[in-house]
Amino acid sequence: MKKKRQIIPPLIDGYEYQSYLGSGGFADVFLYQQYLPERLVAVKVLHADVTDDVKERFHAEANVMAKLSSHPSIVSIYAASTATDGRSYIVMEYCPPPHVGKIVSQKPYSVPQALEIGIQLGAAIETAHRAGIIHRDIKPANVLMTAYGRPVLTDFGIASSGETQQGFQGVSLLWAPAEQQTGKGETGPRCDVFSLGATIYALLAGHSPFKIPGGDNSPPKITARVLNGFVPSTGRSDVPRQLENVIRKALSKDPQQRYATALEFVDALHRTQRDIGLPATHVDVLDEKAPRFYDSGDEDQPTRIRALPSFDAQEDFTKAGRFLEGETVDPNEAFRFTVPHPHPLAVKENQRLTPVGFASATMNASGKKSMMEGSGDGFPSADFSVAQKTRQRTSALSAFSIFLVLILLGALVATLWYSHSFDVEHSVSTKQTQSVTDPQNAGIDDIPPPVKELKVLSDPQGAKVSWVNPLPQPGDSYLWEVKHVKNSEGLRETKETSVVVPWEEGACCEVSLRRANGQTSLPEEICKMEK
């Protein structure tokens, strides 16, 4: 029997452990409460017994995600460090489970929802590509949903820097293109375009285009379908043929037949939105070198993206000074500005600001200037004494009106405060009582108990793993995962107390009890004895 690995959350200064969220190949994910600022966060903790190469990849993932995490469709990274027990960790935005892979397996998205999510993810992927980062593992299980229902891309564990990368590394067969599965060819931006296409297909069909429900989905069969360009219909009558064709183009087995960039793919999805009468989803792409707007060339419905805004305030002030001094300025530099005093960036420290004699100035397209002639004090020539007296009378009347309004508001606030003071106190005391039993504030002592009596029985399709819930409650479910097998499908959920699993030499099955409020027990594991 293979020795069971203990899953223990590390002690992290400034954070309090809440619950276990799940495990991956080399890391565990826990829910913590951060003290300051106060919020729930997901903490990805590297296993203690990993190799130096895995540690380097983990640290690289933290750096990559931190570089991109300001994007609204990429999970935010708050911190990364090493715990007192020596394990590395990454503190991330907490996105309540489940991930999109689980969501679509239960109920696929509507066409409008799939298009919106696909465009938002495509914008995130385009931003990563412009930063020189290829994700290389895009799939529904790596897409989380924020508390506000926004999809965010996560898990950059096998991302590569640079435009392309040769060689065969980690790969998810159901979502990866041929060049990534065989290691023959460049895994550049078109690789991510393929995986995004497979992900959008799954949003509509509920599964990968290379998985046949109820069929033979062994690794050789999946790879054969990818290499042969097998892309079946989604099987839904409400999916427009245009969208089916867009997805097929992204899933072409020949990289040169796919969209060259994620942005081209997004543009095709935008056109589909327009043609079926849907509003265009906003595209967020940041690139310091990009033009202010990208235009798809379609005058009716262009794809427009916001580039990273940049300006040089010092240079703008210099242009204004040149213009005021009478210098002819290039018509292409036409601008409008107001100069009550020098630009703040042009003023040296402790230098006194002196008003200039012009209230404003405008340059037209011909490069000529026109300005309001003034008296040197920032006002146009006029009877200044009359204007000043009028302003004084107006100011006195305004001050008296404001004083009356403040008295009335004060009386109203005092009345409301007195009449509702009891309700306020009752509300506060109720809130304090509820916080003690709120699952989001539960501590380590409130973790559900682990399952018991984990057993393996023979079954025609593999092995039947069963267990017992020691303390059943309404809404209980179970998270289970088979590890160390070729066709593992990752973490899954069931309401039953048994599952049929593939059972090879060295295979292990982990099972956790999950309450309806999201609290999850530590996993129990059973493994097949190695020869």
Active site residues: 136
Name the pairing type of β-strands 143-145 and 151-153: antiparallel
DSSP string, 105-127: HHSPPPHHHHHHHHHHHHHHHHH
Q: How many residues does the chain have?
A: 531
Q: What gap in Å lies between CA 75 and CA 42, rounded to an integer?
A: 11
List phi, psi (to 5°) of 515. Answer: -80, 165
Query: Of the candidates 163, 155, 172, which has an alpha carbon nearest to the alpha carbon of residue 211?
Result: 172
List phi, psi (to 5°) of 143. Answer: -120, 120
Helix axis angle, 262-275 to 111-130, nearest 10°:
160
Computed on alpha carbons and rounded to an integer, the radius of gyration of the chain in Å comes to 31
Q: What gap in Å lies between CA 23 and CA 520, rounded to an integer?
A: 12
Judged by DSSP in three states, 47 sits in coil
Distances in Å between the Cα of 211 and the Cα atoms of 223, 421, 434 are 10, 62, 46
Distances in Å between the Cα of 20 and the Cα atoms of 30, 42, 99, 498 are 5, 10, 15, 21
